[in-house]
Amino acid sequence: MLHIENISKTFNPGTITEKLALHNVSLHLAPGDFVTVIGGNGAGKSTLMNSIAGTYPVDEGRITIDGTDITKWPEHKRAKYIGRVFQDPMMGTAAGMMIEENLAIAARRGKSPTLKWSSSADSRQHFRELLMGLNLGLEDRLESKVGLLSGGQRQALTLLMATMAQPKLLLLDEHTAALDPKTAEKVLLLTDKIIKQQKLTTLMITHNMRDALKYGNRLIMMYEGHILFDIDSEKKKNLGIKDLLAMFEKAAGSELNSDSLLLS
Amino acid sequence: MDLVIATVSQGLLWALLAIGVYLTFRVLDIADLTVEGSFPLGAATAATLIVAGSHPLVAIVAACVAGMLAGVVTGILCTKFKIPALLAGILTMIALYSVNLRIMGKANLPLLQQDTIFTIWNLGMDKMMTTLVIGAVIVLVVALLNYWFFGTELGTAVRATGFNPHMIRANGINTDNMVVLGLLLSNGLVAISGALVAQSNGFADVGMGVGTIVIGLASVIIGEVLFGTRSFKNCLISVILGSIVYRAVIAIVLQMGMPPNDLKLFTAILVALALSMPLLQARWNKIRKGGR
Ligand SMILES: Nc1ncnc2c1ncn2[C@@H]1O[C@H](COP(=O)(O)OP(=O)(O)OP(=O)(O)O)[C@@H](O)[C@H]1O
Ligand SMILES: [Mg+2]
């Protein structure tokens, strides 16, 4: 489904701040794969995701989705295939606009906007039903501005927006990291539910090893711009945090800087 | 009474400028200085065409198109060539000074004895009432068109681009195109405003754009403070009323004896104060809390 072949990315090449953030990374996702991604600070997780989303171009390599080469596509064109939720709850929605207006934009992800009036009684009914599924009472607040919602509500809404137009690929970059633990858990359960319902192919970055083990059918560990190991669903089932740490030490030849990863 | 009518009709003619400035400054979140050039561009285009014998309505439409082109130039400079929006606007504004001189062939073009949008129809009213009625009709039509457009999928995307370009790109929309479109619409409206003001004043002048951005901002801010910002519809109405209130304020300070030459200084101080209000308010609240 998603094929990444040997992509590399260097930031600020030729300057003293030059940084090789991705080095020859290859990754294949089968349809329906739900892959959790872990790794220390600066390992290249976000760079990998932004490269797939097209936030910036890669220096080398190829990215294809369902056989379509998207390596050279601009970010907005890739959005036809890709739904995204960012770490920052502010990033995924337009705060100054109503919930309804945000949903109307997301419902047409990847289609050119037309001169049709953006809201209709039909669409409102549809949005209400979708919001009902979030269980946050947002179905009665279609005309509220998104800026009035809490961080957790905004992330849940962004998740809904990212998935309502059936993306081929869902990218989640620590989308619960800015939330308190209880809200984070709620949003994660919701994420899992939506992914399972729609059988979405998903990449989810997390700093929480327990979540990385609990969710998804595959786990990859990144380190210094490459994928250190890739654990399939059979092996993942019986894996504990201790095993992960041991695997990391063996593969990287150093101790994992555990400040950057939540161990519990 | 006459003064009231004159003030309101001036406010209406300038309201299109205020809506234009609102579209860039608030909706797109860009301070666009193109308006200082597209306002006289609209005036120059309309005046030249009217002198050449065109129907005033045709002249206004042509002025709008010219303004839109100016907006597109700024839009392309800042999206395709990544020139900061403020500088892109300044470049277009400066270029337009020469363009406007070329259009008119001289610095000032009088419209004496010419038919204007305010004289072609005999509404059975005196000149001032006619200006008021025609100004009101035009502002109403423009406001309705704006309300419609910014409620469509495309208009919603333009508004969302100003709030959060990340979000709108993640939803598959080319933000560059939305910025160009917003600047196009804004400067089209500003040029219509210039065309109307020229016809009402009876001349177009190459220098009539000086300070228009500040007048626009003053109207936007006054309107927002006095009449609210709940929704896009609310904002549109606020900005139009803000333009009228601004004219009233000007009329009052002039009546109180302020020399007309100080008007621009007065307006600039007004806008500077209004823009620093949030910060001053925060400081003030802090001081008050600290004192307790
Ligand atoms: N836009 C950028 N410009 C310059 N350097 C960057 C940029 N984005 C990332 N980097 C650098 O690239 C490296 C990889 O960063 P990346 O954000 O991918 O890490 P990460 O694995 O997501 O880390 P974290 O867990 O902290 O989010 C880091 O050294 C970072 O400083
Ligand atoms: Mg990151």
Residue A226's alpha-carbon distances to A17, A96, A243, A257, B102, in angstroms, are: 19, 39, 20, 16, 61
pLDDT exceeds cutoff 90 at A119:
no
- Percent of chain A predicted with pLDDT > 70: 96
pLDDT mean across residues, chain B: 94
Chain-chain contact of B173 with A76 (C-beta, under 8 angstroms): yes
Position with higher pLDDT, B241 vs B123: B241
Chain-chain contact of B159 with A94 (C-beta, under 8 angstroms): yes
Question: What's the confidence (pLDDT) of residue B282?
Answer: 85
- Distance in Å, CA A46 to ligand 2 centroid: 4
Name chain B contacts of A53, Cβ cutoff 8 Å: 170
Ligand nearest to the CA of A225: 1
When pLDDT is cut at 50, 70 and 90, the band that residue B291 belongs to is: low
Which among A86, A106, A117 has the least Cβ separation from residue B151? Answer: A117
B134-153 average pLDDT score: 97
Chain-chain contact of B152 with A108 (C-beta, under 8 angstroms): no
B105-141 pLDDT, tens per residue? 999 999 988 999 999 887 788 888 999 999 999 999 9
Gap between the Cα atoms of A141 and A146, Å rounded: 10
Burial of B98 (0-12, 13-18, 19+ CB in 10 A): exposed
Each residue of A102-113: b (16+ CB within 10 Å) or e? bbbbbbbbbeeb
pLDDT exceeds cutoff 50 at B59:
yes
* Domain harbouring B175, CATH code: 1.10.3470
Contact status of B234 with chain A (Cβ, < 8 Å): no
Query: CA nearest A92 in B: which residue?
Result: B167
| Range from A2-6, B100-104, B232-236, B283-287 carrying the lowest mean pLDDT | B283-287
Name chain A contacts of B167, Cβ cutoff 8 Å: 91-94, 102, 105
B11-39 average pLDDT score: 97
3-state class percentages of chain A: helix first, strand second, coil last, to nearest 5: 35, 25, 40
Chain-chain contact of A94 with B173 (C-beta, under 8 angstroms): no
Chain-chain contact of A94 with B164 (C-beta, under 8 angstroms): yes
Burial of B191 (0-12, 13-18, 19+ CB in 10 A): buried
- Adjacency order of strands within the sheet including A60-65: A19-29, A2-11, A60-65, A68-69
pLDDT exceeds cutoff 50 at B285:
yes
Gap between the Cα atoms of B271 and A183, Å rounded: 43
In DSSP terms, which residues pair with A227 in a beta bridge?
Answer: A222
Position with higher pLDDT, A250 vs B224: B224
Question: What's the confidence (pLDDT) of residue A257?
Answer: 61
pLDDT exceeds cutoff 60 at A259:
no
Measured from CB, residues less than 6 Å from any atom of ligand 1 are: A 11-12, 19, 21, 39, 41-47
When pLDDT is cut at 50, 70 and 90, the band that residue B240 belongs to is: very high
Name chain B contacts of A161, Cβ cutoff 8 Å: 171
Which among A79, A97, A116 has the least Cβ separation from residue B170? Answer: A79
Which among A92, A108, A116 has the least Cβ separation from residue B167? Answer: A92
Q: From the CA of B160, how many Å to the nearest CA of chain A?
A: 6
Question: What's the confidence (pLDDT) of residue A256?
Answer: 65
Angle between helix axes B56-79 and B85-104 (nearest 10 degrees) is 150
A116-127 average pLDDT score: 92
How many structural domains comprise chain B?
1
Which among B152, B167, B170 has the least Cβ separation from residue A115? Answer: B152
Gap between the Cα atoms of A249 and B232, Å rounded: 57
Chain-chain contact of A105 with B168 (C-beta, under 8 angstroms): yes
What ipTM was estimated for this complex? 0.89
> Which residue range(s) make up the domain with B264?
2-291
In A, residues 149-188, which contact B (CB 8 Å cutoff)? Answer: 161-162
Query: CA nearest A171 in B: which residue?
Result: B170
CA nearest neighbour of B42 among B195, B172, B237, B167 = B195
Q: Model pTM?
A: 0.92
When pLDDT is cut at 50, 70 and 90, the band that residue A146 belongs to is: very high
> Which residue range(s) make up the domain with A186?
2-263
pLDDT mean across residues, chain A: 91
Question: What's the confidence (pLDDT) of residue B150?
Answer: 96
Chain-chain contact of B156 with A95 (C-beta, under 8 angstroms): no
Burial of A3 (0-12, 13-18, 19+ CB in 10 A): middle
Do residues B92 and B68 lie in contact, with contact meaning Cβ atoms separated by under 8 Å? no
Query: CA nearest A162 in B: which residue?
Result: B171
Contact status of B26 with chain A (Cβ, < 8 Å): no
Question: What's the confidence (pLDDT) of residue A143?
Answer: 92
Q: From the CA of B83, how many Å to the nearest CA of chain A?
A: 19
- CB neighbours of residue B3 within 10 Å: 12
In B, residues 158-197, which contact A (CB 8 Å cutoff)? Answer: 159-160, 163-164, 166-175
B259-270 average pLDDT score: 92
How many structural domains comprise chain A?
1
Name chain B contacts of A97, Cβ cutoff 8 Å: 156, 159-160, 163
- Distance in Å, CA B29 to ligand 2 centroid: 28
* Domain harbouring A257, CATH code: 3.40.50.300
When pLDDT is cut at 50, 70 and 90, the band that residue B167 belongs to is: very high
Each residue of B73-95: b (16+ CB within 10 Å) or e? bbbbbbbeeebebeebbbbbbee
Question: What's the confidence (pLDDT) of residue A264?
Answer: 44
- Percent of chain B predicted with pLDDT > 90: 87
3-class secondary structure, A117: strand
B72-99 pLDDT, tens per residue? 999 999 999 999 999 999 999 999 999 9
Name chain A contacts of B172, Cβ cutoff 8 Å: 76-77, 79-80, 108-111
A102-112 pLDDT, tens per residue? 999 999 999 99
| Range from A46-60, A142-156, A238-252, B106-120 carrying the lowest mean pLDDT | A238-252
Amino acid (1-letter code) at residue A173: D
B239-259 average pLDDT score: 95
Q: Which residue has the tokens 């309705």?
A: B144
